[in-house]
Structure 1
Amino acid sequence: MDLPRSFVIREGDLRILNPFDAGKLDTLGRALKLAPGTSILDLCSGKGELLCTWARDHGVFGTGVDISTAFTAAARQRAAELGVTDQVRFVHGDAASYVPDESVDVAACVGATWIGDGVPGTLEILARWLRPGGMALVGEPYWRIDPPDQATVEACHATSRDDFRDLPGLVGLFGELGWDVVEMVLADQDSWDRYSAAHWLNLRRWLDDNPQDPLAAELRQELTEDPLRHVRYRRDHLGWGVFALIRR
């Protein structure tokens, strides 16, 4: 059970594996008014930056679960770098089926709602492990501008327009599912640029060092095509944000 090697290559030395930068992650932590001792379960925790920096800055405790062995190892290393190994732990496993030892104050799935086949199913997973009055964090794309054609849809990692909603539609969906939206922090075009463009440099450095690797042709094509795809389609059409929700 692991992610394909291409994911590890593409993400390279990035610490935040979504279109948030460190400032936005910090803004989110401060906006949530996290009290020392807050317990967090982070499903699909990536390299653990959310848990590690919030443990350092806010005194939270938590567990991160991710399917990638490489990302889990990087998260453990990050916890050691920040001196928070006594506050956070990271588990290699299937986030959708993980069972924590006890319920938590905050349950998060930031950018991986595929674990529940979409937002409704993911919120069901998060709700299982929340204490009464606890908070769910969901990171999810939305259409900034209605995609004009199928080429735009596919360039934004979707198969149809219906894969994502616009921002009012997404916020409305949370309400339809019985949750109050109590905070949100949205990516912007600059943070999208920083995330996407970092992939290109990671890919180029890897290609220079590994020209004969079996993945080289596939990743060479990605590097050739993705910068134009980003500026032509994703940058204007696709938004992304993290939404804090409390059950009604």
Structure 2
Amino acid sequence: MNGDRRAVDDRRAVDDRRAVTYDDIDTEATWNLLRDTHPVIAPLSDGSVDRVLRLARLEPGARVLDVGCGLGAWLLRALELHPEATGHGIDACASHIEAAAAAAGGRGLNGRATFEAADALRFAPGERYDLVLCVGLSDAFGGLRDNLACLRRLVRPDGLVLIGEPFWEREPPEAALKALELPRQALTDLPTTVERVAAAGWLPVHGHVSTVQEWDDFLWACVSGLTRWGVTAGGRDGREILRYAADYREAWWRGYREVMGFVTMLLRPLPPWAASLAARPTRW
């Protein structure tokens, strides 16, 4: 599940003559398979996504940015729930951008949603946004603190940021750390995660902790997509993909199920006149 390996589009198993190897397949390749079954690349149900996005209470004419937009599901749903808003999604994965743009067209949102293959660290908008979404992407920025620092330059002083962060539900056993390929110190517990957000100069105003059922639905969607890809590919490619699917499934069930949690939080930037609130001691 190492995100540093080269991403492979799911269609390559059928379209490319070069053999697929186990190491070709990574989380990006897996997530590309979710466009029809679980386009929100996070362990949240449709109802939970709607509840969090409605709480943003965007005003008419609001502008939304999705950093690491994936398949576009968060941004497109935000625009459906706030029909007078417009949005822009950026992602480093070109196949994600292609899928997101196609989804926007299929949902009649072409005139309100745009997508761009871009590096979030170098993205420089002409003006800041009313709502910035960035779910499950802190590792790409070098950690939660660096992610929040990047998002601050993208959101209006009176705007909102929506982030999604993993955390330890309980002390992780070695099996979980091995399955996730993570050091123990990579994550903290939920209270410490929230403390770190506050210490970075943000006001958490809402949080949704994903349920075990939401996690199960998300992971089963990943396994289902991998299985469909492997069966379609057949032969040597199919065997490699199905072997990866089995390991992916076992990593969850025998490794980090009910060990790693996920919290989605709405945040407001801390006003300058309240900066002292961010100076409270934490375990950062």
Judge same fold: TM > 0.5, yes or no.
yes
Change (3 A) 1:147 1:124: same
| Partners of 1:169 and 1:62 in 2: CA distance | 32
Instruction: Say which one has the larger Rg.
Output: 2
Moved over 4 A (4+): none
Q: Deviations over 1:66-89 (max 9, x none)?
A: 111211111111111221111110
Which residue of structure 2 lines up, in the alignment, with residue 107 of structure 1?
132
| Partners of 2:172 and 2:75 in 1: CA distance | 34
Tell me, yes or no, if structure 1 residue 32 matches structure 2 residue 36. no
| Partners of 1:96 and 1:18 in 2: CA distance | 22
Which residue of structure 1 lines up, in the alignment, with residue 22 of structure 2?
none
Which residue of structure 1 lines up, in the alignment, with residue 257 of structure 2?
235
Secondary structure, counterpart of 2:43 in structure 1: coil
Match of 1:92 among 107, 117, 123: 117
> What code does the residue aligned with 2:128 have?
S
Tell me, yes or no, if structure 1 residue 53 matches structure 2 residue 77. yes
Secondary structure, counterpart of 1:236 in structure 2: coil
Change (3 A) 1:217 1:93: farther
| Partners of 1:4 and 1:127 in 2: CA distance | 32
Say if 1:10 and 1:203, in contact at 8 Å, map to a contact too: no
| Partners of 2:235 and 2:127 in 1: CA distance | 48
Say if 1:136 and 1:244, in contact at 8 Å, map to a contact too: yes
Offset at residue 186 of structure 1 (A): 2.0
Q: Structure 1 regions of 5+ residues with no counterpart?
A: none
Pairs aligned (count): 244
Secondary structure, counterpart of 2:254 in structure 1: helix
Which residue of structure 1 lines up, in the alignment, with residue 8 of structure 2?
4
| Partners of 1:190 and 1:67 in 2: CA distance | 30
Tell me, yes or no, if structure 1 residue 204 matches structure 2 residue 227. yes
Say if 1:141 and 1:239, in contact at 8 Å, map to a contact too: yes
Offset at residue 151 of structure 1 (A): 2.3
Tell me, yes or no, if structure 1 residue 15 matches structure 2 residue 19. no
> What code does the residue aligned with 1:194 have?
D
Q: How does the TM-score come out when normalised to structure 1?
A: 0.91
Tell me, yes or no, if structure 1 residue 194 matches structure 2 residue 227. no
Secondary structure, counterpart of 2:147 in structure 1: helix
Q: Structure 2 regions of 5+ residues with no counterpart?
A: 1-5, 10-24, 271-284
| Partners of 2:106 and 2:98 in 1: CA distance | 12
Tell me, yes or no, if structure 1 residue 128 matches structure 2 residue 153. yes
Which residue of structure 1 lines up, in the alignment, with residue 246 of structure 2?
224
Offset at residue 218 of structure 1 (A): 4.2
Q: How does the TM-score come out when normalised to structure 2?
A: 0.80
Which residue of structure 2 lines up, in the alignment, with residue 163 of structure 1?
186
Offset at residue 142 of structure 1 (A): 0.5
Q: Deviations over 1:97-149 (max 9, x none)?
A: 2112211112221111123201100011100111112212211100111113x
> What code does the residue aligned with 1:42 have?
D
Q: Deviations over 1:201-229 (max 9, x none)?
A: 11111111113465x45433222222222
Secondary structure, counterpart of 2:258 in structure 1: helix
| Partners of 1:199 and 1:242 in 2: CA distance | 20
Which residue of structure 1 lines up, in the alignment, with residue 95 of structure 2?
70
Secondary structure, counterpart of 2:257 in structure 1: helix
Secondary structure, counterpart of 1:242 in structure 2: strand
For the aligned residue pairs, the C-alpha RMSD in angstroms reads 1.8
Secondary structure, counterpart of 1:25 in structure 2: helix
Tell me, yes or no, if structure 1 residue 116 matches structure 2 residue 141. yes
| Partners of 2:142 and 2:152 in 1: CA distance | 15
> What code does the residue aligned with 1:15 have?
P
Which residue of structure 1 lines up, in the alignment, with residue 282 of structure 2?
none
